[in-house]
């Protein structure tokens, strides 16, 4: 099976930081090829596996813009699986639970986790979507994905210079938009760690609205979810660390990691950038 993962990374550094290096190496166990797409600069790939190649592009349209540029050059006919991942997550645990759950869903379009959040700027009647930091399309989904990418006015994304406006456009037309497009074409959205399933397990019958990657990171890690959002780490201020000591990001990394050395290297890398 030929499988490709497009990993989107933005940085000014000349080499991959440790968190991204570790994440890509883990992805290498699940994909025959990884395309690291990143912004143009002096860059050294380092000691990543030979299955990893680099494509440097102009930074336009956020992660979606970078993915779009790679997608235009793919030989779709030779692929069996295509994935999109980005550097917004810290890899805490092995990806094995994610792939075991995802592959058992039996749907050609699946991801790590979904969301029912409705941003105020959404133009969609329904807003369930797979969060775009980790998406997988199996071969039967390629036709619809290509179709959706063809109808998007990509130049509008490239031309938008207002950061907030661009971010809202990407969320509305890409993250929510592609999920809703698949649903309207009869394809079930598969979430390996679906919000509704996790809420049912916790006897919470209310429709899940909150983004659990921010609100319930430990709950997800306990379930085998492999990621911790970088923004969760960045936004965890002094007061929250005092009031909720058990949720300190360092404690979560140490408690749920698949390798203690990896956890300490993650912590050291993060503290260097804070």
DSSP per-residue codes, 101-135: HHHHT--SEEES-EE----TT---S---EE-TTEE
Which residues sit opposite 5 in a β-bridge?
A: 34, 83
Compute the C-alpha angle 35/40/45, nearest 5°. 50
pTM (two decimals): 0.93
* Neighbouring C-alpha atoms within 13 Å toward the C-beta of 53: 9
Distance CA 211, CA 233 (A): 15
Quick: pLDDT tens for 227-272.
999 998 887 655 455 545 555 889 999 999 999 999 999 999 998 8
Distance CA 177, CA 170 (A): 9
Quick: pLDDT tens for 11-34.
999 999 999 999 999 999 999 999
Which residues sit opposite 191 in a β-bridge?
A: 111
Closest Cα to residue 91, out of 24, 10, 187? 24
């Amino acid at each position: 099976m030929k499988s490709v993962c497009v990993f989107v990374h933005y940085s000014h550094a000349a080499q991959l930081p440790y968190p991204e290096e570790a994440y890509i190496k883990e992805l290498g166990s699940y994909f025959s090829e990884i395309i690291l797409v990143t912004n143009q600069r002096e860059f050294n790939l380092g000691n990543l596996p030979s299955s990893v190649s680099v494509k440097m592009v102009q930074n336009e349209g956020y992660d979606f813009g970078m993915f779009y540029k790679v997608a235009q050059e793919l030989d779709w006919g030779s692929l069996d699986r295509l994935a999109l991942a980005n550097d917004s997550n810290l890899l805490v645990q092995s990806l094995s639970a994610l792939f075991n759950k995802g592959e058992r869903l039996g749907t050609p379009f699946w991801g790590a986790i979904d969301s029912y959040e409705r941003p105020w700027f959404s133009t969609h009647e329904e807003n369930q979507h797979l969060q775009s930091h980790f998406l997988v399309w199996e071969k039967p989904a390629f036709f619809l994905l290509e179709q959706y990418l063809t109808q998007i006015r990509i130049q509008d994304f490239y031309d938008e210079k207002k950061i907030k406006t661009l971010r809202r456009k990407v969320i509305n037309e890409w993250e929510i938009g592609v999920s809703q497009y698949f649903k309207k074409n009869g394809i079930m959205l598969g979430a390996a760690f679906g919000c509704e399933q996790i809420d049912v397990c916790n006897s919470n019958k209310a429709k899940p609205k909150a983004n659990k990657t921010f609100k319930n990171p430990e709950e997800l890690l306990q379930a085998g979810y492999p990621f911790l959002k970088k923004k969760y780490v960045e936004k965890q201020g002094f007061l929250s660390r005092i009031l909720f000591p058990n949720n300190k990001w360092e404690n979560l990394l140490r408690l749920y990691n698949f390798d203690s050395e990896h956890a300490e290297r993650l912590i050291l890398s993060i503290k260097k950038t804070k």
